[in-house]
Amino acid sequence: MSKYKLFLLRHGEGAWNKENRFCSWVDQKLSEDGVKEAQDCGRLLKEQGYKFDLVFTSILSRSIQTAWLVLEAMGQEWVPVVKSWRLNERHYGSLIGLNRAEMAQQHGEEKVKLWRRSYDITPPLIDESHPYFLEIYNDRRYTTCDVPIKDLPRAESLKEVLDRLLPYWNSTVVPEIRNGRTVLISAHGNSCRALLKYLEGISDEDIASVTLPTGIPVLLELDENLKPVKPRQLLGDQAKIQAAIKKVEDQGKAKPST
């Protein structure tokens, strides 16, 4: 029997989603389409009668901006928003900034799919020669973390995302859910996938085929032990959702030569 409702949301489309680049920890605002996705998401949730008591986000602007727009569209701007780096997108290391389709052309679609979707393969580490290294590690937001900057990731597998996310989930999010609060987690494709893997008990192999499109809310109905009582629901027009999933999956395919 369902006791709690939890909502997961991958942020609306960001500028680098549009350009098909690995964005990761580089801070990006939402694109125009991303703003619309977040607003449409909020309107949908309002129409369906949902109300949030608390929202958790990463410390990346696209996650926070999405939360704000969703709450605004719902008329729930007053709801508290709590931010943590532990909900950040997966750190893609030296792949950050690169175009996925061009990478597939160079290295093959299978290799790029492993880097993007596998559970325990870590991409090459970012180092100080990388064009975005200083932009990330000199950013003041990372001085607010519960670990020193020198101990923050330089690249992560999905397993490592789950490893840094779980302590926050257990210490901070779970008590709020158990207190009866309806929680929205406005985060990223991989932080949401990592949490889904944990909650739904998805195998290391099967998680590779779990795709979350931008701006589509995911409803999980949980029992008293925070185990799902039914399959996750992606809310909204199902035909549009399937088209959005295919679009995400096609990002790692090489462009046909012209």
Question: Which is the catalytic residue, given 47, 77, 89, 107?
Answer: 89
> Buried b vs exposed e over 125-151: b needs ≥16 C-beta within 10 Å?
ebeeebebeeebeeeebbeeeeeeeee
Got the DSSP string for 19-44?
TTB--TTS--PBPHHHHHHHHHHHHH
Is 190 a known ligand-binding residue?
yes
Is 180 a known ligand-binding residue?
no
Is 89 a known ligand-binding residue?
yes
Q: CB–CB of 152/137 below 8 Å?
A: yes
Is 38 a known ligand-binding residue?
no
Spatial distance between the Cα atoms of 36 and 252, rounded to a whole number of angstroms: 24
Is 201 a known ligand-binding residue?
no
Is 189 a known ligand-binding residue?
yes
Is 91 a known ligand-binding residue?
yes
Q: Is 107 a catalytic residue?
A: no
Q: Is 11 a catalytic residue?
A: yes
Is 187 a known ligand-binding residue?
no
Residue 8 is inside which H or E element, if any? Answer: strand 4-10
Is 108 a known ligand-binding residue?
no
Which of these, 171, 178, 186, 129, lies nearest to 154 by C-alpha position?
129
Is 90 a known ligand-binding residue?
yes
Question: Which is the catalytic residue, given 11, 37, 130, 188?
Answer: 11
> Which residues are paired to 57 by β-bridges?
83, 186
Q: CB–CB of 218/186 below 8 Å?
A: no
Q: Which residues are annotated as a binding site?
A: 10-17, 62, 89-92, 116-117, 189-190
Q: Which residues are annotated as a binding site for substrate?
A: 10-17, 62, 89-92, 116-117, 189-190
Catalytic annotation, residues: 11, 89
